[in-house]
Amino acid sequence: MNAMEVVSLKQGANRRCALLDLDAVPREVTEDDARAYARVIDTTLTPEQAARIAEPGKTFPMQAETMAVHWHPEFVPMDLIRARIRALYPNSGKELIIPTQHNELLFWDDYAGVEVDCYSSGFNRKVQLLLHFRRDKVEGEHQAETLKSMLAHTFEYRSGQLFEFLDAATLPGMEHRRQQAAALSNADAEIVEFSGIIAAKLKRLIEDTWGETPRETIKNKLLRNFLDEYRPAYGDLAVNRAQVYLKALKELVKQGFSLTYFYRASEIIEEARSLGAGVVIPHPEQFWPILLADYDVDGIEVWNPQSREYTEFLIQAVNRQNENRCRNSPQMLVFMGDDCHMSEKVKEPALQDADKAAREVGLQPVWDDLSVRKSLILCGASRAKMIDEYKARLDG
């Protein structure tokens, strides 16, 4: 390496270090930190946020049916979501709308739904299932007690994973994880240390305010949202680099999370079926092996905003499977999921994840895509037909 190259490397290192003055970042929890934490766990909406939900600013007047069986209200009130859906699809007549919060049963008109984290023992990996019910099968205090207990246990997994995430960012014994994440995200030592300082503050604040912190906020995205609060103090570039590093660290934590925490997929399906549930496999591109397990399900999601590449292949796979089924056996249905997370729309537009913010409850444009419709026609599937068929199964 010649002298000019050495100088260039030193200048590059100095530029990276100049992003942050770590000596100026307090290690202890300050009043500003406490105020930032209070903001990110506050689930009440300001008038501006409520308007942001109820008034989408765009409409789809040509959509005549609305099928939404994979979406997450999070802490957004249902009445605001209803107003948004009415504004989005002013001419929609036929509809089937069922919320699917992660591991929490929620209700919409005559139906209830949930997205359950579980594991496929045959393939030794975490998977997810969408469960949909008639409301009267699961609403009562003494109805569906076993299922509700299973969901309550699984609900705690996301908070457990957050604490593992915070430990990975802060504990001396987790240095190997941090080094892995830094290598994957090209993060320098200052970004790793800065991220650890913020993570340690968050952990302390959670512990100090445990009784007042809403449980639904205790999940991995809390660290992302908390870190965003420091943009005015430390700049977008430093925070953005920290977010990239923490995302890599989060994925490593998720990969190492023990599968023994979860119920088996077969256990979840058996309990759900005993209550007359419909069962759907969501975003199968992330869970390919589950499609081979021959689980007792009503259908698979062939498209959502995260799973687009193999839509036509999956439609054709459903069609082939139906052709090989006995005449009296229920047909596999084709589903599409918008996977909309409503909390993303509450944020200031500048802080939103653009891809997630673009998702809408019931917006699945592939139903009307001319190239995909050829495969749908051969499969005998359309949005209107799927609404009718799935409603009949849930009501039966």
Highest mean pLDDT, choosing among 13-17, 165-169, 294-298: 165-169
Please indicate, yes or no, whether residues 153 and 249 belong to a single structural domain of this protein.
yes
Is the pLDDT at 354 greater than 60? The verdict is yes
Q: Closest Cα partner for 343 from 17, 7, 52?
A: 52
User: Are residues 321 and 247 part of one domain?
Assistant: no
Pairing of strands 106-108, 111-120: antiparallel
Q: Are residues 304 and 377 in the same domain?
A: yes
CA distances from 83 to 50, 113, 367 (A): 10, 20, 23
Inside any domain, residue 85: yes
pLDDT of 118-175, one tens digit each? 998 777 888 899 999 999 999 988 899 999 999 999 998 888 899 999 999 999 999 9
Same domain, 194 and 320: no
CA pair distance 148, 141, nearest whole angstrom:
10
**Residue 29 covered by a domain:** no
C-alpha–C-alpha distance, residues 231 and 373, integer Å: 45
As a whole number, the mean pLDDT across the chain is 90
336 in the same domain as 261? no
- Nearest of 282, 279, 283 to residue 296 by alpha carbon: 279
> With bands split at pLDDT 50, 70 and 90, how would you rate the model's confidence at 9?
very low
Q: What is the mean pLDDT of residues 200-216?
A: 94
Q: Is residue 28 part of a domain?
A: no
Residue 289 has pLDDT above 50, yes or no: yes
Overall domain count for the chain:
2
Lookup: tokens for 362: 């019931």
Q: 257 and 164, same structural domain?
A: yes
- Please report whether residue 331 resides in a domain: yes
Residue 182 to residues 192, 225, 234, Cα–Cα distance (Å): 7, 20, 20
Shared domain for 85 and 143, answered yes or no, is no
Q: What is the pLDDT confidence band of residue 13, given thresholds at 50, 70 and 90?
A: very low
Answer yes or no: is 130 within a domain.
no
Query: Does residue 124 lie in a domain region?
Result: no
Q: What is the percent of the chain where pLDDT is above 90?
A: 73
Domain that holds residue 215: 139-276
Final residue before a domain boundary, out of 276, 304, 338: 276
* Distance of alpha carbon 113 from alpha carbon 72, whole angstroms: 10
Distance CA 376, CA 371 (A): 9
Residues 288 and 272 in one domain: no
d(CA 268, CA 282): 15
Query: Pick from 276, 297, 322: which residue ends a domain?
Result: 276
- Beta carbons within 10 angstroms of residue 370's beta carbon: 6
Whether 78 and 180 share a structural domain: no
Cα–Cα dist 55/57, whole Å: 6
Pairwise pLDDT comparison (96 vs 15), residue with the higher score: 96
Q: Does residue 145 share a domain with residue 261?
A: yes
* 6 domain residue, yes or no: no
Distance of CA 47 to the CA centre of its chain: 25
In a domain, 102, yes or no: no
Residues 158 and 268 in one domain: yes
User: Domain boundary residue among 253, 276, 299?
Assistant: 276
Q: How confident is the model at residue 29 (pLDDT cuts 50, 70, 90)?
A: very high
Q: Are residues 148 and 254 in the same domain?
A: yes
